[in-house]
């Protein structure tokens, strides 16, 4: 089975397992989606949702967070990892969105990635889930799974993103990256499957006997 055949197998199993998919991070609008994705770095989606459910009913626009100021933002998100750094980014990107983008989240990768605390992965999530633009957000989990399933030899998330975009039709990207995340959490866990037990691994590599070690992104 070559890469193209494996990609078709992966897509078939994921579509059967998750015919419909929901966005794991709760948000009120595109701006709060951006904030939630920024907060989710080194933090679980569940933790982010637990914190933001008490924030977004009242604060959901850039000017709300500018008025709050950094210290108050810190207090609101203190249960989240590296909250001081994230609070600084939220405050500064809120100011920039008001000053440069008339209070609206920009709709291009370049403009998003120029916002404080926003990297390519965060921008990709906002473009795909916020604006419906075809994007393939790759984090360390998807990178690990793509290696395990024989879809990439990429040494980092950038190389893996290029490989996956070549293998899968653009129309599938937005849904597919979420399907991979859900499948990894449920069936192909880092310390459970080891590339040996889940349906995708056993279908793509029926003769694999030893646990597969994946390269870190």
CA distance 175 to 8: 15
Q: Where in the chain is the domain with CATH 1.10.340.30?
A: 30-130
Residue 16 · residue 211 · CB < 8 Å: no
Q: Looking at the predicted structure, is the pLDDT value of residue 217 above 70?
A: no
pLDDT tens-digit profile of 2-39? 999 999 999 999 999 999 999 999 999 999 999 999 99
Catalytic site positions: 121, 139
Confidence band (pLDDT; 50, 70, 90) for 204? very high
> In CATH, which superfamily holds the domain spanning 30-130?
Hypothetical protein; domain 2 (1.10.340.30)
Angle at which helices 83-101 and 30-39 cross, to 10°:
150
Q: Looking at the predicted structure, is the pLDDT value of residue 214 above 90?
A: no
With a pLDDT cut of 90, the percent of the chain lying above it is 89
State the fold for domain 3-21+136-204: Endonuclease Iii, domain 2 (1.10.1670)
Around Cβ 80, how many Cβ atoms within 10 Å? 20
Confidence band (pLDDT; 50, 70, 90) for 203? very high
Confidence band (pLDDT; 50, 70, 90) for 190? confident
Q: Where in the chain is the domain with CATH 1.10.1670.10?
A: 3-21+136-204
What pLDDT, on a 0 to 100 scale, did the predictor assign at position 211? 87
Around Cβ 206, how many Cβ atoms within 10 Å? 8
pLDDT higher for 123 or 154?
123
What pLDDT, on a 0 to 100 scale, did the predictor assign at position 212? 84
What pLDDT, on a 0 to 100 scale, did the predictor assign at position 63? 98
Residue 63 · residue 94 · CB < 8 Å: yes
What pLDDT, on a 0 to 100 scale, did the predictor assign at position 128? 96
Q: Looking at the predicted structure, is the pLDDT value of residue 165 above 70?
A: yes
């Amino acid at each position: 089975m070559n890469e193209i055949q494996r990609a078709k197998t992966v897509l078939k199993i994921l579509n059967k397992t998750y015919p419909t998919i929901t966005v794991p991070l709760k948000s009120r609008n595109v701006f709060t989606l951006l904030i939630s994705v920024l907060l989710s770095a080194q933090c679980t989606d569940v933790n982010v949702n637990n914190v933001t459910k008490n924030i977004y009913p009242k604060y959901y626009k850039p000017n709300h967070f500018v008025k709050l100021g950094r210290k108050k933002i810190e207090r609101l998100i203190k249960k989240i990892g590296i909250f001081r750094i994230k609070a600084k980014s939220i405050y500064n990107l809120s100011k920039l969105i008001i000053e440069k983008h008339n209070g609206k989240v920009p709709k291009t990768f370049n403009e998003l990635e120029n916002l404080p605390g926003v990297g390519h992965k965060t921008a990709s999530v906002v473009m795909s889930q916020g604006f419906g633009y075809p994007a393939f957000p790759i984090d360390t989990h998807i990178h690990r799974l793509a290696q395990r399933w024989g879809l990439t030899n990429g040494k980092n998330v950038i190389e893996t993103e290029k490989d996956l975009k070549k293998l899968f039709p653009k129309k599938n990207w937005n849904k597919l990256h979420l399907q991979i995340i859900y499948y990894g959490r449920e069936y192909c866990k880092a310390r459970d499957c080891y590339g040996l037990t889940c349906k995708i691994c056993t279908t793509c590599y029926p003769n694999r006997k030893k646990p597969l070690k994946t390269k870190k992104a």
